Amino acid sequence: MRGVPCLVQGEREDALTCSGRCRMSYHRWLQQITPPWPEGELDLVTIDLPLSFVAFSPKGEGRSPQARYVTLEPRTCIRLLRPMLKTVIAYLRHRRGGR
């Protein structure tokens, strides 16, 4: 994964953004493009994560997700899934008797 150039600390491998201002801007953008979680009980949830991949040819690159829509870093996808995963884990714990 490529690091993010930071004005204060140089290249940061662990960063998605370079500063607090960029972080807030990135967070606002994520909220804007992320649909809300559906209300009520669901039996099945499928999620198409907007992840990019490296193609081995220009033809394959034209068919890749990043050629069709905005893709996100895996870390960002995990952050977006946390609310749903907390609910699923709580539900499973309840069904297993609180373990």
Q: Model confidence over 5-50: pLDDT tens digits? A: 455 445 555 566 677 777 788 778 878 877 777 777 778 777 778 8
* Predicted TM-score (pTM) of this structure: 0.50
Task: Please tell me the predicted confidence (pLDDT) of residue 36.
Answer: 76
Q: Model confidence over 66-84: pLDDT tens digits? A: 888 888 888 888 888 887 7
* Cβ–Cβ < 8 Å for 21, 15: no
User: How confident is the model over 54-73, as a mean pLDDT?
Assistant: 84
Query: In whole angstroms, what is the distance from residue 97 CA to residue 49 CA?
Result: 32
Task: Say if residue 2's pLDDT is above 50.
Answer: no
